[in-house]
């Protein structure tokens, strides 16, 4: 033991060890054993009772807290379940798409069953002219195939959306519904620059049984589509009838430039890319999300044949406004006809590359006081869009304007050279009255 003394020095004290006195042995007997047993029993009982009381108190406290925590946990679980249920209800597309990406959702038969009655097969008969080596020409008929999507109907007709290149040049047109019934159809309207078209079928030509089985498609918001989400393509692949392929959205807002078969001009459109197999005959068919909503119109025209897994579809958000116009528009004649007030020359792909200028319509003349003049369009501007459509030729503007009446306001996109570089502008033009 160490102590600190008054002189700030340590003194060490040692306590000598004293051996404890050994207890004296007592004689053992029966009575002593009995008393010892009774004493041990009393001590054991006292210790056990105390331990049991303490344990009971602790257990009651623990269970009480545990029950309270359990109630909180159950409440939390319930909230989570409710939130999950709400999430599934409000965002089923994202949840199921994610599940599909991880392989959890592999059976899309219910989606196909729901969507198939709104998809049709389209067959066309066209006349093709072939010039021989000696200069002779010969005409022969060729059959084409494609797909379509039932989008709406009125009192007389059923309307089907498809690709322009499916129906371009067709002499006759037939539609085959999901129950294999065939009816004759006709082209209602086309828009080559967006590769969209609408064909119509008279309701009176459709059997009552077929009318009960077919349905209009449900369109989704393609702008909400994300890369990696599941995609299902349905169409008349190779003309064999409707078939289904499944993949994912590979890219969105993919700019693809192709050559228009009828005019030879190049057209650039913004498309959805998917690795779902899109083969010849799928053109005009549906690209669906996991909810069975149409998010795109397949266009094999934009597919690269030299690679695998690169199919393209026209986004639904871009297609719907054009399709509606193709259905409802009528040619405006007489004094109500619209007048733009600007004319120009076509900037073909070859000319544009030669002079390092954008493709479109180069404005050569603007009529003073016209709608184009009032909107600020001047000579040298290059028109690239008109009423939301891509423009590659003066003819494109004229075709669109034949369906517009005087006083209509359209959005016009053009490019103008600023400090040696072309910048993009957009203006609203109120069309005047054609003399």
294-330 pLDDT per residue, tens: 999 998 655 555 667 789 999 999 999 999 999 998 8
pLDDT for 246-293, tens place per residue?
Answer: 999 999 999 887 766 655 666 788 999 999 988 889 999 999 999 999
Average pLDDT over residues 129-150: 83
Q: Catalytic: 195?
A: yes
> Minimal CA–CA distance to 298: which of 185, 195, 151, 190?
195
What's the chain's average pLDDT?
78
Select which of 165, 191, 337, 370 is catalytic: 165
Domains of the chain: 118-213 (2.40.10.120), 222-328 (2.40.10.10), 334-433 (2.30.42.10)
Least confident of 26-30, 82-86, 162-166, 361-365: 82-86
pLDDT, residue 8, reads 41
Predicted confidence band at 19 (pLDDT cuts at 50, 70, 90)? very low
374 Cβ contact partners less than 8 Å away, ≥ 6 residues apart: 429, 430
Select which of 118, 283, 299, 337 is catalytic: 283
Is pLDDT at 107 greater than 90 in this prediction?
no
Is pLDDT at 5 greater than 90 in this prediction?
no
**Is 173 within 8 Å of 185 (Cβ atoms)?**
yes
pLDDT, residue 78, reads 27
276 Cβ contact partners less than 8 Å away, ≥ 6 residues apart: 231, 232, 233, 245, 246, 247, 248, 287, 311
**Is 356 within 8 Å of 426 (Cβ atoms)?**
no
Structure tokens at 211: 């009318």
| b/e per residue 33-42 (b: at least 16 CB within 10 A) | eeeeeeeeee
Select which of 191, 195, 275, 381 is catalytic: 195
> Which pTM was predicted?
0.67
pLDDT, residue 80, reads 25
44: left (phi over 0), alpha (psi -120 to 50) or beta: alpha
């Amino acid at each position: 033991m160490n102590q600190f003394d008054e002189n700030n020095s340590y003194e060490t004290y040692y306590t000598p060890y004293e051996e404890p006195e050994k207890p004296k042995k007592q004689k053992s007997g029966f009575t002593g054993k009995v008393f010892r047993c009774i004493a041990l029993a009393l001590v054991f009982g006292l210790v056990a009772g105390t331990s049991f009381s303490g344990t009971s108190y602790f257990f009651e406290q623990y269970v009480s807290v545990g029950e309270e925590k359990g109630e909180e946990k159950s409440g939390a679980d319930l909230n989570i379940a409710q939130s999950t249920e709400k999430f599934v209800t409000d965002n089923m597309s994202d949840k199921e798409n994610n599940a599909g990406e991880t392989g959890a959702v592999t059976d899309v038969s219910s989606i196909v069953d729901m969507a198939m009655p709104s998809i049709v097969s389209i067959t066309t008969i066209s006349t093709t002219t072939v010039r021989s080596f000696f200069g002779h020409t010969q005409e022969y008929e060729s059959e084409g195939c494609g797909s379509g999507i039932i989008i709406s109907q009125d009192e007389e007709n059923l309307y089907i959306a498809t690709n322009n290149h499916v129906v371009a040049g067709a002499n006759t047109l037939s539609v085959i519904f999901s129950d294999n019934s065939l009816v004759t159809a006709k082209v209602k309207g086309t828009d080559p620059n967006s590769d969209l078209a609408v064909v119509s079928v008279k309701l009176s030509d459709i059997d009552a049984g077929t009318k009960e089985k077919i349905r209009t498609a449900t369109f989704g918001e393609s702008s909400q589509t994300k890369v990696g989400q599941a995609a299902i393509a349905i169409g008349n692949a190779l003309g064999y009838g409707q078939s289904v392929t499944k993949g994912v959205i590979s890219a969105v807002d993919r700019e693809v430039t192709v050559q228009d078969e009828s005019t030879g001009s190049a057209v650039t459109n913004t498309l959805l890319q998917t690795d779902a197999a899109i083969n010849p005959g799928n053109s005009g068919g549906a690209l669906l999300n996991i909810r069975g909503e149409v998010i795109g119109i397949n266009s094999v025209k934009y597919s690269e044949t030299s690679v695998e897994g690169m199919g393209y579809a026209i986004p639904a958000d871009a297609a719907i406004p054009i399709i509606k116009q193709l259905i409802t528009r009528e040619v405006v004649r007489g004094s109500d006809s619209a007048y733009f007030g600007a004319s120009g020359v076509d900037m073909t792909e070859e000319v544009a590359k030669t002079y390092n200028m954008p493709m479109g319509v180069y404005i050569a003349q603007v009529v003073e006081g016209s709608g184009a003049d009032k909107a600020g369009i001047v000579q040298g501007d290059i028109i690239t869009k008109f009423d939301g459509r891509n423009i590659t030729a003066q003819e494109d503007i004229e075709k669109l304007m034949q369906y517009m009446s005087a006083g209509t306001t359209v959005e016009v996109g053009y490019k103008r050279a600023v400090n040696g570089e072309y910048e993009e502008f957009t203006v609203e033009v109120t069309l005047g009255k054609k003399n």
